[in-house]
Amino acid sequence: MTKWFIKIQSDTKKHPLLRPLAVTVPLVFIVIIALLFINNNNTMAQDWEALRERMVNEQLKSRDIRSKSVLEAMRQVPRHLFVPEHLQRFAYEDRPLPIGLEQTISQPYIVAFMTEQINPKPGMRVLEIGTGSGYQAAVLAELDCEVYTIELLPELAERAKRDLNKANYTNVNVKTGNGYLGWPEHAPFDAIVVTAAPEEIPPRLVEQLKDGGVMILPVGPVHSLQHLKIVTKKGDEISTRRLMPVRFVPMIDRD
């Protein structure tokens, strides 16, 4: 291509009518490359969209996730943006994935199930303990909740904040801190979602629930059987119900 372009340039000195061609040819190549790049990006976007649709149909609807709003949120949130780049091809498979620092992003079904259990509504104030990748917070944000999320590890908190901004979720507040303490400045909360497992239900989190509020969390020892539980607060009465056996990373109590 270089020799051809040089020949055209030299020929234009002899033939002035060829001068426009010397400018047009490289511009044509630039336009073609740009169109190929745009087309490739559009194809990738369509592929991710198709994978999310299949995830919703095969992993969520087939396992009794019924909430239309939750299904739509799972259909819209780009999970691949919240996993390491080398694992993005697995983003819409129904399994947890490592995100570094001995932490994981939960499988899509568990995220959908836990979200459905709190019955999210637009405008609800939701506290999340264990930001991790930011994916659960993104799903809550997609549902138009006012999200407050706490991450113990500064590196993960910064990464989640970056990825949430990249995905245009502006209704999520991220801070680094001890999840056992909750976020009293913004309490009480309509719902609390805990994505790491304490051995006992943290009393300070129960205190930060609104009257009528719900909290969902895995409870149990590390490297052993845990159970997903839902806690409901009505006045001074606290009720707890066991939902299913699960396996989560431990919730760490440290400043």
Q: What amino acid positions are annotated as catalytic residues?
A: 106
44 and 113 housed in the same domain = no
155 and 208 housed in the same domain = yes
47 and 114 housed in the same domain = no
Q: Confidence class of residue 16 from pLDDT cuts 50, 70 and 90?
A: low
Which pLDDT score is estimated for 215?
Answer: 99
Q: Confidence class of residue 20 from pLDDT cuts 50, 70 and 90?
A: low
200 and 130 housed in the same domain = yes
Q: Confidence class of residue 237 from pLDDT cuts 50, 70 and 90?
A: very high
Q: Is residue 19 part of a domain?
A: yes
47 and 122 housed in the same domain = no
Q: Is 151 left (phi over 0), alpha (psi -120 to 50) or beta?
A: beta
Which pLDDT score is estimated for 224?
Answer: 86
Is the whole model's pTM more than 0.85, yes or no? no
Q: Is residue 45 part of a domain?
A: yes
Q: Is residue 124 part of a domain?
A: yes
Range with lowest mean pLDDT among 13-22, 133-142, 161-170, 211-220 = 13-22
143 and 29 housed in the same domain = no
pLDDT for 147 beyond 80: yes
Instruction: Please classify residue 84 by burial: count the beta carbons closer than 10 Å to its beta carbon, then call 0-12 exposed, 13-18 middle and 19+ buried.
Output: middle
Half-sphere exposure of 121 (CA within 13 A, CB side): 5
Q: Is residue 40 part of a domain?
A: yes
Which pLDDT score is estimated for 11?
Answer: 56
Residue 152's identity, in one-letter code, is L
Which tens digits make up the pLDDT trace of 103-135?
A: 999 999 999 999 999 999 999 999 999 999 999
Domains of the chain: total: 2
Q: In which domain, by residue range, is 34 found?
A: 2-51
Q: Is residue 207 part of a domain?
A: yes
Q: Is residue 218 part of a domain?
A: yes
